[in-house]
Chain A
Amino acid sequence: MIAVTGRRRVVWAPTLASPDWTLTLLALALSVTGLLLVWSATRLGGDYALLVRQAVAVGIGLVLMWFVSRCDLRVLRAYVPVAYVLALISLAAVLSPLGVRVNGAHSWIVLAPGVQFQPSEFAKVALALAFAVPLGELRDGQRRPGFGGVVLALMLAAVPIGLIALQPDLGTMLVFAAMVTGALLVSGAPKRWLLVLVVGAAGAAVAAWKLGLVRPYQLERLLVLANPAADPGGVGYNAAQARIAIGSGGLTGKGLFNGEQTAGHFVPEQHTDFIFTVAGEELGFAGAAAIVLAMGALLWRGLSIARHSASPYGTVLAGGLVSWMAFQTFLNVGMTVGLMPIVGVPLPFVSYGGSATVAGLLAIGLLQAVHRTKAMQP
């Protein structure tokens, strides 16, 4: 037995393949860039607390990333129900008196003074993990998820999305929807389900409009996208100031810490959702394009991991994670350059925000886990 076990791998103590160093380095580079930009955006307050907090968040995120990346996917799988239920509980808690209202939405929970987190960021990770279970764990001989699997998956997704709609947080809802769509796409689910998703989304939008669930400010944001000059002092202010900051950066930018628009705090929420404007102004087209390209490369690696995953579960999980980050990046950068409406989502790895930073690095850890988990030996 001993001799035999010496030659064969033990299932419950698997060895892992080497990590995808490119992926880790890209995530690290984006996080460090994010720290520099947050520093630039907040330094004139004379207060380094935000920079320190973000650095701590990056540190925690890296530790968690390292930890998760060393776990076999099958081991992690055991904790998915726990993570999912915890995510639902915390999402429900923000709606309770425990939640804190910021900018009109309940999205924070304060654990202790100065320590708060945004459950919806962690819910992204939990949903990616949970969604992949019915779609990725196929019975023998099954090559794609069946009807029951897809319905279960959509039900798993509907609960957290519904809770976020109650906050309400339109941006995060859209990110969840993109993640669900992406995961469903790579799972190989029949095309009609994708059609159902599109029709369902359109129906939900119409219903929300008809029932008056769309708030006036959300509508205004959409209108301002069409014509940003309509109201430069009000809703369009963010959009106009963001575009001015980015546009004035030119080809090579004004240099890190030299952005005058940044120093004057003309772009609201600049260190969080509008961090990309700091890059646009201070680093110019060269720097902004480098960030977009780095993000693109990171997503490309993620899709490669999905493609080469040892299990359908890994493929669906990686597909969901990549879809989440891809859509969130496009939404965030798109709103700062006037391609998308102003919806509050952070730029992954770069924006200030502890929960989002930790969740992003956790997602990289999960991608590494998918990458490193080898096929079960027969």
Chain B
Amino acid sequence: MTNKTNTSIFSKIFKDTSIEEHLNVFPNKIGSHGYDAWGFNIKNIRNNMRFVKYLYENYFKVEVSGLENIPKEGRCLLIANHSGQLPFDGLLIGYALVTNPHGARVPKAMIERFLPSVPFIGNWLNSIGAVIGDPVNCERMLDNEEAIVVFPEGVRGSNKLYKHRYQLQRFGTGFMHLAMQHQAPIIPVGIVGMEETIRSYADIKPLAKILGMPVAPLVLPYIFPSKVYIHFGEPLYFKNDVYKDSDINIRVETVKKAIHNLVQIGLTDRNAYYATKK
């Protein structure tokens, strides 16, 4: 029985070539060996998206709405709430963008600065479109007309305790400066369900200090198959006409409110906590 299940998962991940159809209409600019300037690699994304497809369709059984709000082309920032300890939310948003029936986008995502120094993880993340969260990178990619996923809460959001689930943490303001300066529409994204996948009950600060990590969460060593809902909101446009931090903060709060509303819609509408077999 076990063997049968393993074979089934294996074939679902490795023998599934349907993701190729989406990546055949690949929009990003890449070089002769499939790389772009940030380490993104077309061959790796093909292989990895098969795995993400399994997570998306079979494990988290993601339900998505509002895909029509994502511009088919041109620069945009997808601003989302961050949760679930590991960056699965980024992967799932990425898969939704790659397979968007209204027009495929290959997403870039801004990630924590310490990640490139972790062996294997750094290169792997780069190869699937994750880039260190330096404003220079974001500016260049917007100029390159790319779609960029940003989690302005950073580790404050992804590594918060389970008891604080669905409470949006403080947003950084960098994304708003970039959106205004580069005239990029902001697509608010609300994700529900990731909070329940890995639950942190405490942050062991002394251990974090020893490991040189931002946090050391106390978690159960299991990823719960929580059902995930992703809502893409309508684009928000901001003119480059305010300069004071207080004014920028008001705009950031507008985006935060939009994400809050999408999360609340997800929480109200969700009809299953666990992605059990249909």
Partners in one complex: no
> Could you tell me which A residues sit within 8 Å of B by CB distance?
none
